Structure 1
């Protein structure tokens, strides 16, 4: 009788273990469904919570920075561009419906990335990265660019920055040229293309610069002052304080040539 009771207990324990394992298996299976990835993605955008995207984002370029700043930039873009967000959601919905988890031509797509816990398909969001190309109006412009306060890889010969996760980034540009040093702060949408261009309008920056405006006014004042002295000094080019030595030499030569031929000029 005792032996029979012992067998019953063993059977009961074994059954309980099987039930627990079955429950765990079902729970893990449910947690690994592609719908859960979409749900986390939508909730992350809704609540602006980048932590929900940790471990879900896979960039198409391994050199891309996937961190809180870049994830915030992506969420920021999707929050303010409803049409783009809806296109992404519809695309992922269609992938789940068709059970097609290959990378699509959308900016973000759902892909299968190995196995989770060694048994279940692991689904991730594959993201197409973007490069930002910054140019000045002149080849002599010296540019220094900061994107979201991140250390972004740069191709110095072309001022191309990236790869970056797509999104809306805060950019800070410093421009140095013959007019001075200028600063531009601008939010830039990096989305839709593999490379996005940003042209720094240094003329506009110069027009808005108080230092440049003061410099122009001072140059005009000095020119008028020099012109008055110049005309009362017998057209002595050396009285032009803002003129270069080269200009003064050329002007003196032309003046000497004129003096040599002026008597032959018909009045």
Structure 2
């Protein structure tokens, strides 16, 4: 099982340092979340900067809110990032569920699933060089044939079944205790679509390690990000090294291809601590 890092969003200027250290300590991926009405960096722009700061590590959105974006422009941005990163970009995508994001983007919340279905099909067409809305020539063509890998994140049955039709894998942000049912539905959708092999499974946990100040800032950041749920403690990060090691082992046994550890604390020194825990 590979291990990746979800990067903190509190200070975009620190992200290149995070990415360089993550690569130095042999993590497989750096990932960024996506919101519109929130104080976070726009992930495609930020990952383009990180592509220039690194040479090996994968760059991933987890997840990009596809329906908030123009399909043609998104196709161009993703293909550009794919080329600039020498094929290291992975498009993690989903619909999102916060009403304020959709209001700000002018996208009806109740149409987001249908919009994403159409968007995913159209992205592949554009990347293959086919016309989009009778218009040809949307470039550049991605370095990766057919476009970069696509992972779909979500919880609803419709989102899970989208994996078999459109994607290369599934981002499972659910706790391990109830991830099994989601993965079964994804695997069923894969089989129903007649796909060979199995979808890539990328799981996710929240972590914060280090001194008391770093841990407290990480907990506050998680609480602020998940405040919309109205559920105190939702997403509370793992902070004990032994517990993190046990959780990593449990996901490995579960069969995850990769585990992304989201770091909400802002101190890059966490990277070395996490590397020591998981190696």
| Range into which the TM-score falls when normalised by the shorter chain | under 0.3
Q: Which has the higher contact order (CA 8 A, sep 6+)?
A: 2
TM-score, structure 2 as length reference: 0.19
Greater radius of gyration (CA):
1
TM-score, structure 1 as length reference: 0.20
Greater percentage in strand: 1
